[in-house]
Amino acid sequence: MPDRGGGPTGPRIRVGRPSRRARTLLMTLGVLAVLAMLFVMFAGFWTDWLWYRSVQYSSVFTTTLWTKIGLFAFFGLLMATAVGLNIWLAHRLRPPLSAMSLEQQSLDRYRMGVAPYKKWVFLAITALVGLIAGASASGQWRTWLMWVNGVPFGQKDPQFGMDVAFYAFDLPWYRFLLGFGFAATVLSLIAAVLTHYLYGGLRITSPGARATAAATGHLSVLLGIFVSLKAVAYWLDRYGLAVKSSDFKATGNWTGLRYVDANAYLPAKTILFCIAVICAVLFFATLWRRTWQLPVIGFGLMVLSAILIGGLYPAIVQKFQVQPNEQAKEAPYIAKNIEATRKAYDIDRAKPENYSGKSTVKDKNRLRSDADSAASYRLVDPNIVSPTFQQLEQKRKYYQFPTTLDVDRYRGKDTVVGLRELNIKGIPKRNWINDHFTYTHGYGAIMATGTTTDANGSPIFTEAGLPTTGQVGKYEQRIYYGEKTEQYSIVGGPQKELDYEENGEKSTSYRGKSGVNLSNAFNRAAYAVTFSEPQILYSGAIGEGSRILYNRTPKQRVEAVAPWLTIDGDAYPAVVDGRIQWIVDAYTTTNGYPYASRTTLGATTTDSLTAGNETRAVVAQQNQVNYIRNSVKATVDAYDGTVKLYQWDTEDPVLKTWMKAFPGTVLPKDDIKPGLKEHLRYPQDMFKVQRELLTRYHVTDAAQFYSGSDAWQVPDDPTNKDGNAVPPYYLSMKMPGDKEQRFALTTTFTPNGRPNLGGFMAVDADAGSKDYGRIRLLRVTQDVPGPAQVQNKLNSLPSVAQFVRDLKGADSDIQYGNLLTVPLDGGFLYVEPVYAQGRNALYPLLRKVAVSYVDADQPEGDTTKDTTVFEDDLGKALNAVFGVDGETPTTPPPGDTTKPPATGDAALQQAIADAQRAFTEGEEALKKGDWTAYGKAQADLAEALRRAAAAEAAAKADEKPAAGKPADQKPAGQQSADPKPAG
C-alpha cells in the first residue's frame, strides 16, 4: 500500500498548540471583543452624562448616580456579609466526625464534590445575593433622599400626634430597612441550614440528636433575630394604620384608622409586639439552655395570638359593635378622614355655596345684556379645529399641528394656539440625511381668536403665515423642541438645514447652545452605539460644530431633569419675550399622608380628550397618591431646549425636601418674569384630581358623608360617545358676585345616578390674579337640567333634525363642540358650537350655535327660561333664547359708567378698512379654492386686526377715565373693531 505520510519515513503532521502568532491573534480578538462589550455598556452611561451636562443639570445626574451607587454598595455588601458570615460560621461549627449512617454517606459525595471548589462556591453565592440585594436597594434612591432630606410638614396626625413628615418620609424608609432585614435573615437562615445539613450539623434520618449544640445555638440566634424583626414590624404596623387603605362603603377607597382599627387592631398590634419580644428572648436564651422547647412554644403562642388577637378579635368587634350602629361608631373617624383629605388635595378652602338655579332677573332685555358680559364664549373649540389649522396654515406636508390645540390669553382675550411642528412622515423623500439633518424643526405659532369666526365659519387668525405675522410681534419662530418632535436631529455642522419654503427654499444652520457636540470621534462612537446608527460614526455630514439634539419633547426634558416630579399631561406653548416657551406644570406627590384617601392619577386624569392619547397622559412617578401640590412651573425653550424649573408653591414640604436633595435645580418664584407669568394657568390634571375628590369631599358633615345623600359624579361628555368624563374647559367668565370676567377652569357635576345638574366648579386660573387657585363651588339646590339633558333636548329640536338631514343629504357630518356652562342671573346658560364637515371637505367649519338657558323656576308658557335654540351665530342664538328681537342690546350693566372708546382715529379707520378688504379677498380666494391666496389674505387680516387693536388702545389712552372706571374698560356688549363674525 502506498505510504500516505505520517509514518516513519513520511512527513510529520504536528497536532498541538497553535503557533505564537495564532495565539496572539486570538488573544487580541478576545480583548477587543471584551472592550467592545464594555464600550457598549459604557456608551449609554456616557451619553446620559453628556446630555445632562448639555442641559446644565449635571448635578441631578451625579446626585442620582452616587446615591444609587452608595445604596448598591452598602446594602449589597451588607447582604453578602450577612449571608457569607453565616455560611462561614455554619461551616466552622461543623462536627469533627460525621455519624455513620446512610444519610451521611450519601452526603459524602456532595461534600467531596464541593471540597475542591469550596472557596469559589462561597464567593459565588455571596456575590450573587449581594448583587441582587444591591440592585434592589439602588431602586430606593428616592426613598433614601426623602428620608435624609425630609423637612417637617408642621401638621400632626390625630391618632399618634406624629408630624406628617414621619409618614411621608420616615416610615417608607423604615419599612424598606425592615424588609431588607427580613430578607437578609431568611437568606442567612436558609444558607446556614443547608451548610449545617451538608456538614452533619443537622440530621433528618440519622439516629441520635437531630442537631448539634453548635447548630442549635446558631439557628436559634437567627430565629431570634427574625422574631425580633417581627416585633419591630408589629410596632411599625401601629403607625401604618394611619396610612392603611381599606374598602369602606361610605367612601369606597378609605385611608386611615376606623373604629375597628383604633379599638381592636391597634391594641392587638401592641400585644403582639410584646409577645414577639418575649418569643425573641426565648430564642436567644437557647444559647444557654440548649433546648428548643420554650422557643417553639413561644413561637406557637405568637402565631396563635396573631390569628386570634390580630384576626378574630377585630372581626368580632366589627360584627357586634360596629355594624349595629356603624354611622355613630365611624363618625369621628370619618371626620378625621374628611379633614385630612381636604388638606392633602388643597381643597380645604372649597366651601359649597348654595345656588338655587332660579333666575333672579325677570327682564328679558336685562338677561340678554347680562349674557354678553357673563363670559367670553369660546366658539372655536381647540379639540375640533386642529384640521382647520392643518389645512389653512400647514403650508407644507412636513409640518403638523397637535390633535388638540391649546387655549391661552393674548391681549386679555382667549386665544386658541397651535405650533407648526415638524412632521417627519411628511418629508417628500425619506432618507437618513433628510430625516436627521435637513428637516430638523417646525416653524411658527399659529393663533386664532377663541370667541369669533369669519363668515365662512373658519377661525380668525391673529398670528398666521410662514413666517408668521400678527399680534405677538417679532419672535424666534423655529421650533426644535416640541410635543411631536421625537426623533433626533444633527445640526450646526457642514450640512445645511431647510428653514422654510416660501417663494423658494431658505436654509439655515442651528446657532443654539443645546445638544451634545459631535466633533470628537469618541462621542460619535458612543451615539452610534446608543442610537444603533453606525453612520453617525463615519458620515461626512457630521463635522466641526455638529450637535445632536434628542429628548426633544417638553415633558421628556422636564421629567429627565426632575425625576422626582409628576408631569402634567398637557404642556402648552406661549410666546414670551420673543421666544416660544413650552410651559409644563409639575407636581410633588406622596402616598403617605395620614387619613387622606388615595386616588389613582392615571384613572382620575383621564377624560374624553385624553383617553387613548399618550401625549396628553400624566407622567406619574407614583400613580397611587394621597397628597398633591402643583409646586413647580417649568419652561422649555422651543429653540434651544433650555429647561427652567420655578418654585411655585413656596410652602410645600415635599418640594422643600427635594430642593435640599438637589440644591440649585429649582429657581425661586421671584425669578418668574411678568411676561411669563401672564401665560401661567391653573393645571388641568390638578383640577381633575381635585374635582374627583370633591364629588364626595364637598360634604364636610360626617353623618351626611356617610349617608352619601349629597354625593356627586363627574358626568360623561355628552358630545362624545366613548363614555369618558367631560373634560374641564378654560373660559373667561364671571362667577356669581364677580364684577368682571376671570380666566377660569370649569366643570360640572351631576348627582350620583341622576342626569340633572348637581354642582358647578370653577377655579381662578389666571396666575396673575390675587385669587389664583381659589376654588368656587356651587351646589345647585333645585332641579336644573344637566349637560346630557341639554344635549338630548338639542338633538330633539326640529331645526337640528332638519339641519342633520340637510348635512346627510350633502354627504356631510355634524360635530358638536365644547358644551360650555356659565352661571347667569341665578340660572345656567349652556353654549355649544356646532361644526359641519363634508365627506370630501378637508376641515370642519362652524355652522351653528346652540344655546340653552335653564332655570328651575319656569312659569308655564314662559319662553325665556329652560329654552334651547339653534341659530346661525351666537348673537342670534342669545336673542332667541331670551326672546329679544332685533340687534344685540348694548345696555351696560347697572353702575357701569364707562364711555365707549373713540373710533374716529384715522389709523383705526384705515386698519378697519384694510381688515375688511383682506376679509373680502379671503372669501373670494376660498370660493376659488386658492389656498395660497386665502392664507395670504388671512395673514393680512391678522396684521390689520393687530393695527386696529393698537390704534384703538392708543385712542383710549388719550381719553379721560370715567368716574371710578379705567379708561380702557369697555361697556358691556360693545364689540371690537373686528369684522363681524358668524360666531
- Residue burial 100-117, b: 16+ Cβ < 10 Å; e: rest: eeeebeebeeeeeeeeee
Q: 3-state DSSP call for residue 64?
A: helix
The beta strand positions in 427-521, using DSSP E, are 442-443, 445-453, 459-464, 469-470, 478-479, 489-491, 497-501, 505-508, 516-517
pLDDT number for residue 931: 55
pLDDT over 70 (residue 966): no
Residue 650's region, left for phi above 0, alpha for psi from -120 to 50, else beta, is alpha
pLDDT over 90 (residue 411): no
Asked whether the CA dihedral 192, 193, 198, 200 is positive or negative, the reply is: positive
CA distance 638 to 661: 28
pLDDT range class, residue 974, cuts 50, 70, 90: very low
pLDDT number for residue 251: 63
pLDDT number for residue 890: 41
CA distance 501 to 439: 12
CA angle 881, 882, 883 (to 5 degrees): 95
pLDDT number for residue 901: 38
Angle separating helix axes 213-240 and 58-92, nearest 10 degrees: 150
Q: Give the residue among 350, 344, 135, 353 at the shortest CA–CA distance from 255.
A: 344
CA distance 942 to 610: 32
| Ranges of H-type helices in 886-930 | 906-928
Which of 135-144, 661-670, 872-881, 937-946 comes out lowest in average pLDDT? 937-946
Between 808 and 87, the more confident residue is: 87
Which of 213-227, 249-263, 725-739 comes out lowest in average pLDDT? 249-263
Q: Using a pLDDT cut of 90, give the percent of the chain over it.
A: 53
Read off the pLDDT of residues 225-260 as tens digits, 9 standing for 90 and up.
Answer: 999 999 999 999 999 999 998 877 666 678 999 999
pLDDT number for residue 110: 67
pLDDT number for residue 111: 66
Which of 13-22, 388-397, 892-901 comes out lowest in average pLDDT? 892-901
CB 164 within 8 A of CB 156: yes
Which of 89-98, 346-355, 683-692 comes out lowest in average pLDDT? 89-98
Q: 3-state DSSP call for residue 40?
A: helix
pLDDT over 60 (residue 491): yes
pLDDT over 60 (residue 36): yes
pLDDT number for residue 285: 87
CA distance 311 to 283: 25
Instruction: Tell me the pTM.
Output: 0.84
315 CB contacts (<8 Å, ≥6 apart)? none
Cα 457–chain centre separation: 35
Q: What is the mean pLDDT of the chain?
A: 85
DSSP letter for each residue of 380-420: S-TTT-HHHHHHHH--STTEE--SS-EEEEETTEEEEEEE-
Read off the pLDDT of residues 295-344 as tens digits, 9 standing for 90 and up.
Answer: 788 888 888 888 888 889 989 998 899 888 888 999 999 999 999 999 99
pLDDT over 80 (residue 18): no
DSSP letter for each residue of 835-872: EEEETT-SS-EEEEEEEEEE-S---TT-TTSSEEEEES
Torsion, Cα 30 32 34 39, to 10 degrees, reads: -170
pLDDT number for residue 724: 85
Mean pLDDT over residues 31-37, rounded?
80
Mean pLDDT over residues 115-143, rounded?
90
CA distance 341 to 598: 9
pLDDT number for residue 637: 96
Q: Pairing mode, if any, of strands 445-453 and 459-464?
A: antiparallel
Question: Cα dist. 745→287, 416, 727, 761, 959 in Å?
Answer: 69, 15, 10, 8, 34
Between 894 and 944, the more confident residue is: 944
pLDDT number for residue 584: 96
CA neighbours closer than 13 Å in the CB half-sphere of residue 448:
30
pLDDT range class, residue 891, cuts 50, 70, 90: very low
pLDDT number for residue 909: 64
Read off the pLDDT of residues 707-723 as tens digits, 9 standing for 90 and up.
Answer: 888 899 999 988 887 77
Read off the pLDDT of residues 169-202 as tens digits, 9 standing for 90 and up.
Answer: 999 999 999 999 999 999 999 999 988 888 877 7
Which of 6-10, 78-82, 228-232, 810-814 comes out lowest in average pLDDT? 6-10
Mean pLDDT over residues 749-769, rounded?
92
Between 840 and 648, the more confident residue is: 648
In the numeric block, which cell numbers belong to residue 693? 375628590
pLDDT number for residue 166: 96
Read off the pLDDT of residues 522-580 as tens digits, 9 standing for 90 and up.
Answer: 999 999 999 999 999 998 899 888 999 999 999 999 999 999 999 999 999 999 999 99
Mean pLDDT over residues 110-116, rounded?
71
CA distance 620 to 600: 10
pLDDT number for residue 955: 60
pLDDT number for residue 967: 37
CA distance 907 to 299: 94
DSSP β-bridge partners for residue 747 = 761
* DSSP H or E stretch at residue 576: strand 572-576
Cell 391666496 belongs to 933
Mean pLDDT over residues 673-699, rounded?
94
**DSSP code of 736?**
T
Mean pLDDT over residues 84-96, rounded?
88
pLDDT number for residue 943: 73
pLDDT range class, residue 861, cuts 50, 70, 90: very low
Q: Using a pLDDT cut of 70, give the percent of the chain over it.
A: 86
pLDDT range class, residue 857, cuts 50, 70, 90: low
